[in-house]
Amino acid sequence: MEFFKKLENQTLISVVLGLLVGFYLPGAEKYHSILGELFITLLKMVMIPLVLLTLFHSLLNLTKDKESFKILGKGVLFYYLGTSVLASFNGLLMANIFSLDGDFTGEKVSGLSALGPNDIVLSFFSKNLFKSLVEGDLVPLIVFTIVFAIFVGKSLKQTEKLFEIIDVLTDAIQKMTEFVIKFTPLGVFSLVAVLVNKLDFNQYKEMGTFFVATGVGMSLHAFIVLPLILWIFTKFSPIKFFLQVREAIMVAFFSQSSSATMPVSMRVLEDNAKVKEKVYGVSIPIGATLNMDGAAFYHAILIMFMASISGIHLGFGEQIILLLLTQVSSAGAAGIPNGGLMMMSMMLGIVGIPAELIALYILVDRFWDLPITAVNVWGDLIGAKILDHRMNDASPKAS
């Protein structure tokens, strides 16, 4: 009976039931479709306050410790951004190599197609924050939150009261989100049943190709790109380092949580990899928020696939915009309950993909969430090792 108490197992059962109802009782859609529509509506309702409050809370906490910013340095920020961009590029590359961009007649126009170079830059800023809130335009809101949190941290001397208020608000919205997430099995059941009922299986023949492309691309990033970066910057054996930290990667794989893996990551870095506490104490928590290589890769290739089956072709310019947006979606998903689901909902709206296809994300995410989390943590661990090596090189100069 313990099996049925876990939400992830209830969701898995609801996926199976949704598949059966969609296949064998297509007429039942008119009775249960409201459940899926309500679930998506509730997710959108909590998405913006959840993302903005959590982000503001995390950044404000960082400003407490000025030394943390010094330790992070430009090198770590470049590492996080660089590996994430490489992961997204890898996802787009795999989608193009395996022809996941589709070849449809009656092609639909992407929500990204109207954006020129100037629009790309301007899209990160808002003329009217209240309008952005009403329209759910999350990207400029995130940019404003980051800048505002940094200046609030620098400007206020008496910040304890503010920290207490933000703590309460963040805790409240996260509890509210947890309440909404309890309805996931019902919402997923309806979404999957409706999706199956509407499926054109000829269109979905590329699902196998998608799985192969995802597996190849993720393996390339995890076993070649990241180890190569480690060796270039530290000349340390990637195999030896993997053996030193393998426990954290295994925990990440089976727990499907970068946050839950942090204590294990810190322990193996200190005990086995001999990384200093002042390094991993900053790099691992920040990495769990910003450095999401697996998610960046996955979001890029999955959006390409869902655009394909929606009849939307994404050209070169639109894929560049998508690469930039996946940096926001992958980082924004970290540290937030069911953040991947929230961010994918946002991405679907931006690209112009039907919201119902979030059910497809839920279907495949059950499998891919395991290796994605492991790749996320593997990237964090390598980042800590590189930072530790850089600080060791710099310490003789400082003395």
Answer whether 299's CB lies under 8 Å from 326's CB.
Answer: yes
The pLDDT-based confidence of 206 (bands split at 50, 70, 90) is low
Answer whether 255's CB lies under 8 Å from 231's CB.
Answer: no
352-385 pLDDT tens trace: 888 878 888 877 776 788 788 889 899 999 998 9
Q: Is 56 exposed, middle or buried (0-12, 13-18, 19+ CB in 10 A)?
A: buried
For residues 64 and 299, which has the higher predicted lDDT (pLDDT)? 299
**224: number of Cβ within 10 Å:** 12
Instruction: Delineate the domains of the chain, giving CATH numbers in brackets.
Output: 2-398 (1.10.3860)
Q: How far apart are CA 17 and CA 1, in angstroms?
A: 18
pTM, two decimal places: 0.67
207-257 pLDDT tens trace: 788 889 999 999 999 999 999 999 999 999 999 999 999 888 887 887 667
